Amino acid sequence: MKVSSLAARLYASTFLLFAISGIGFYVVIRSLASVEATLEERSSDHIQSLTSNSQASRQVFDLVTRVQLLEQTILYSESVLIEESFNIGEQLQALKDLSENGDFGLRIDEFVQNFHRFLGSSITLNQVIKELNKLDDRMGVEIEKLDFEYTDYQLERQGAGLAFDHVFEDPMNMIREAYLTIGKKIASIRTRIAPETEKVLIIEVEKELDILMLHLENFSVSSNVYQATEFNRIKKQMKRTIIKYKMSLRKMKANLDQRWIVMDDLVESQGLLLNLVKSNEESVKSSAVNLKLQLEENVAQSRTQVTIVTFCALIFGLTFIYIVVSKHINKPLNRLVRGLRKLEDSDFNLRIDLGRADEWKSIESAFNSMAQRLKESYNQLDTEREKFNYLAHHDPLTGLSNRLLGTLHLKDVIQANKRNRKMFALLYLDLDQFKNVNDSLGHDVGDDLLVNVATTLNEIVSDFGVVARMGGDEFMVILDKVNSIAATEAIAKSINKALRQPYFLNDKTIFVSSSIGICIFPNHGEDVDVLIRNADTAMYETKKHGRDGYRIYTDKLTEAAKQRISISTGLHNAIDQNELDVFYQPQYNLVTGRLVGAEALVRWRHPTKGLLLPVDFIGVAEETGVISEIDDWVFGRVSRDVESWLDAGLSLRDVRISVNISGQKFFSTELTDRLERFKQEKPHIVALLTLEVHEQDVMKNAVYARELIQRLRDKGYKLAIDDIGTGRSSLAFLQGLPLDYMKLDRSVVHNVSSGENDFAFVKAFLSLAQELNIEVIAEGIEEELQAKKLREAGCHVMQGFMYSYPLPRAEWEGVLYDKRGL
């Protein structure tokens, strides 16, 4: 059945009644058409503007983020600068093309101009820094030449029978000290610091350069003409280098001042651009309100026109016209107005149904389509805002709170507990030897492990507080619902126990442990920085005492932390300054009484603290990563010692030298390549060396460790597992390792004479070793009763203070020459 249109009905009724009625209804139809056209046109413009501003908002946020990241890397990688600046340039052009707003285009142009200024300033600053690096290297070479000439001058005096000239010893040292101070301060300028600090540092560097110039002026030698001429030539070269250095410093100062000004302009233009985007969003919302008001105005005008025309018509058609208007106009219009008011209140879920099949159907479709599109656009904006907020406060890998949100939450907890002085606990933890997992299995496996650890921490802590990932393998736990130290310790023990369980990742079995530091509010601090610092200090105390546990902060730990920093700083220079040494502790076969080997043990001859044992610095070396360099140094020293003994005619038959390998070095990718090169260069030494790896390090990645040990044995190296009895390995696990030697830890040796369980363990262990044809060495023998019990159990090779302390190289060589037995 064909539905007649609203216009046809009105024209038919008016023709039947009065001609004047037709004019009135014609005006009504025109009004409705105007309402529909206005609604369609304005809603289309509104949605297009909203979509455009939504895209601009997302791109502006992305652009600002990329520029901020670029600012962080600008002084370190020129290639990153060039590539990222090209990408940002394309994005800026695309962003400008996206909007037709003139002010927006001006803000984009202003941002582009400031960005190009920032780019040019950064490139110039990088060039100045490179120039300073070259001058610094040149100055170092010239100082070495000056030192050489001065040393030659002293040797000439000594050859002539003259006393050693001490007059200029201090100037040479002061020249080096001033040179090193300049290098440190220049390195500090390259970090992201305040402009006032940069100016102070540059002034200090210029002052040090003046001091260095003064030392050069006062430094001279009185010797033969050629030597004095060469000495003065080097001094002139250094003076020219210092003058060039000062010129580069002035350029650097000018560029730094200009760069801070440019960065301020760039930040200001970023803010203006973001404010303009926000203003455009408010403008779009305002236009929706204006659209509603205009439609209401148009509808009101239509009603007025209908009323006037109808009243002017004959009285006889009033009733009929009223019925038609009420049914076909007022009712749909009222529903449309209610829908527009819902839109004004940001309720986009309403869909109107006018119940018509004529022109009102088009208006109904246009309104519902506009409401749907507005809903989608606003939902998209809300989703983007929530996403930005989530990414700013959460770790993208684990989903935990990040450092920012974690510290904010800690600050809120402190404020909530300050008034009533209510206690709560803060735990700071990291994973022990996590670097080994990344180095041996890759960062993907390391990321999977972090996700598993985060899940475990959440399961344990969720009822007592919150967990935040502070970066890398470090986590912070805020126990704001715990009000006793005993409960805090119980949770810490639960975390240690849970993380100690094996993880099965990428077809590999991985063992990890955690070191936890605990501090209590308000006993150990009342602000965020102090609490985190003290908890971190307690965590490092845990690492110092063997890891896989927890420590509660005490005031004494602050001094220990300072001492640890001092040790860490000194270790970086210990290798270069040749302060390390190797001692050898003999190993004897108690059946034959013969010397069968020695363990190489590192010592540190500290310039102020004297001879330091490994327990004083190895823990810090492992934390800072210097342990890998120490391993390389010890291996090189031992191999050179062995070669010198062979060259001297010493027989090392049946004498093995053991070298300890740390977990970091053992799982590093370079180990096998380095040992392969050493074998090709000195194959005659490889057979005399034994590589020792700690049991706990092997258990961190048991499957990979087994494969690595087999590869090293295939290359001709002998392998030993040290500290048996301290880790979590079982006899079944040890049975699967392709070893040459196994060493009982001193803790097992200490208890073997008094504990039946330890004695039974040793007997079972020795029995297994005998079946596997693996020789067992007992270390830490201090009493005759210990040695007797071990002989009864079947162990015959031992080392310890009872037989010999670790010996310096000269004393150890005496033992080798005499082949002294027990």
328 in a domain, yes or no?
yes
Domain count, the chain: 4
345 in a domain, yes or no?
yes
**Residue 755: which pLDDT band, with cuts at 50, 70 and 90?**
low
**629 has pLDDT over 80:** yes
**Which burial class, exposed, middle or buried, applies to 733 when counting CB atoms under 10 A from its CB (0-12, 13-18, 19+)?**
middle
Domain match, 349 and 498 both = no
Between 65-79, 501-515, 614-628, the lowest mean confidence (pLDDT) is in: 65-79
**775 has pLDDT over 50:** yes
**What is the C-alpha to C-alpha distance for residues 299 and 31, in angstroms, rounded to an integer?**
8
Report residue 22 as tokens.
């037709």
Domain match, 419 and 499 both = yes
90 in a domain, yes or no?
no
Q: Mean pLDDT across the stretch 156-175?
A: 66
Domain match, 337 and 423 both = no
**Residue 519: which pLDDT band, with cuts at 50, 70 and 90?**
very high
**What is the C-alpha to C-alpha distance for residues 685 and 687, in angstroms, rounded to an integer?**
6
**Residue 572: which pLDDT band, with cuts at 50, 70 and 90?**
confident
Q: Are 209 and 246 in contact (CB under 8 A)?
A: yes
Write down the pLDDT at residue 677.
92
- Amino acid at the residue 54: S
Domain match, 215 and 297 both = no
Give the contacts of 694 (CB within 8 A, at least 6 positions apart).
660, 662, 663, 721, 722, 723, 727
Domain boundary among 366, 390, 414: 390
Domain match, 427 and 532 both = yes
Q: Which residue, chain included where needed, has tokens 């601009």?
A: 56
Looking at residue 2, the DSSP 8-state letter turns out to be P
Write down the pLDDT at residue 41.
64
Here the CATH number for the domain that contains residue 579 is 3.20.20.450
**Which burial class, exposed, middle or buried, applies to 327 when counting CB atoms under 10 A from its CB (0-12, 13-18, 19+)?**
exposed
517 in a domain, yes or no?
yes
585: β partners: 599
Q: Please provide the distance, in angstroms rounded to a whole number, between the alpha carbons at the two ends of the chain.
A: 120
Between 334-348, 685-699, 803-817, the lowest mean confidence (pLDDT) is in: 334-348
**109 has pLDDT over 80:** no
**586 has pLDDT over 70:** yes
**504 has pLDDT over 90:** no
**197 has pLDDT over 70:** yes
**What is the C-alpha to C-alpha distance for residues 758 and 399, in angstroms, rounded to an integer?**
45
693 in a domain, yes or no?
yes
Q: What is the DSSP string of 52-64?
A: HHHHHHHHHHHHH
Write the pLDDT tens digit of every residue in 253-263: 777 777 777 77
Domain match, 143 and 41 both = no
Q: Are 513 and 436 in contact (CB under 8 A)?
A: no
Domain boundary among 339, 363, 390: 390
Domain match, 213 and 337 both = no
- Amino acid at the residue 448: D
61 in a domain, yes or no?
no
Q: Average model confidence (pLDDT) for the chain? A: 78
Domain match, 629 and 737 both = yes
Q: Which residue, chain included where needed, has tokens 């809603």?
A: 43
Write down the pLDDT at residue 728.
47
Write the pLDDT tens digit of every residue in 424-470: 999 999 998 787 787 777 888 889 999 999 999 999 998 999 999 98
Which H or E run contains 471?
Answer: strand 466-471
Q: Where are the alpha helices (DSSP H) in 218-330?
A: 225-312, 318-325
**How many CB atoms neighbour CB 201 within 10 A?**
20
**How many CB atoms neighbour CB 771 within 10 A?**
9
Q: Which residue, chain included where needed, has tokens 């190289």?
A: 809
**Which burial class, exposed, middle or buried, applies to 481 when counting CB atoms under 10 A from its CB (0-12, 13-18, 19+)?**
middle
Percent of the chain with pLDDT over 70: 75
**What is the C-alpha to C-alpha distance for residues 223 and 709, in angstroms, rounded to an integer?**
61
Domain match, 581 and 521 both = no
**Residue 74: which pLDDT band, with cuts at 50, 70 and 90?**
very low
Q: Mean pLDDT across the stretch 174-202?
A: 73
Domain match, 631 and 506 both = no
Report residue 783 as tokens.
């009493």
Here the CATH number for the domain that contains residue 525 is 3.30.70.270
**525 has pLDDT over 60:** yes
**25 has pLDDT over 80:** no
Write down the pLDDT at residue 168.
47
**Residue 574: which pLDDT band, with cuts at 50, 70 and 90?**
confident
Its domain, for residue 411, covers 403-553
Domain boundary among 390, 423, 454: 390
Report residue 11 as tokens.
């024209």
Domain match, 536 and 601 both = no
Report residue 219 as tokens.
């430094």
Q: Mean pLDDT across the stretch 561-577?
A: 77
For residue 522, say if its preceding peptide bond is cis, omega within 30 degrees of 0: yes
Q: Which residue, chain included where needed, has tokens 């601090």?
A: 525
Write the pLDDT tens digit of every residue in 700-748: 777 788 888 899 989 899 999 888 876 545 565 666 788 889 888 887 8
269 in a domain, yes or no?
no
111 in a domain, yes or no?
no
Domain match, 591 and 688 both = yes
Write the pLDDT tens digit of every residue in 250-290: 887 777 777 777 777 777 777 776 776 677 667 766 766 67
